[in-house]
Amino acid sequence: MTDSANYPNHPDSATTGHPVAAERPSTVEGAFWAFIASTVLGLVGGVLIFASRDAIAAALRDSTRRSGGTLTDAQIDQAVNITMIVALVIAVIIAALYLLFAFKLRAGRNWARIVLTVITALQLISLLAGQSTVLGYVSVAAAVVGVILSFLTPSNAYFAAAARIR
């Protein structure tokens, strides 16, 4: 693998005086697309929660009435709307960061691989500790596949070569 024309110790780097960029292996490409899929599935799951808006509001109304609360139906509807919008905004921000880390991973940044591994571990713990949807399970499974692919031997060589180039 180190004899490839795209690795820094290739003879072309000696003739030009500049290291040649490492060729991205299929394991890194696969990890990148697994993280993209995980992000998209997570966003779809976040958007689908809006389909449950009425059920969430009804459950909150029942809970409020049983506990002797004094919230009106309008206040409950407003609280549900605000909560859902805030949750969606947070999900979009997290997805944007996740995408940033995925693109940095694709570019050979080892720190991004570590950050994505930590985030995936947190997602897995969250999934195991609470309830989730089918999309949640599939999203975490895609992220786990991405982590595994990002630590396979070709990926390790790619990250090491990218670090040498910088």
What does the pLDDT look like over 148-166, one tens digit per residue?
A: 999 999 999 999 999 988 7
Q: Report the distance separating Cα 115 and Cα 104, nearest Å.
A: 10
pLDDT in tens, 65-120: 888 888 888 888 898 889 888 888 888 998 999 999 999 999 999 999 999 999 99
Q: DSSP H helical segments within 4-152, as ranges?
A: 11-16, 26-48, 53-66, 73-106, 110-129, 134-150
Say what the pTM is: 0.77
> Which residues lie closer than 8 Å to 65 by C-beta, 6 or more apart?
none
Alpha-carbon distance values, 101 to 42, 98, 107 (Å)? 15, 5, 10
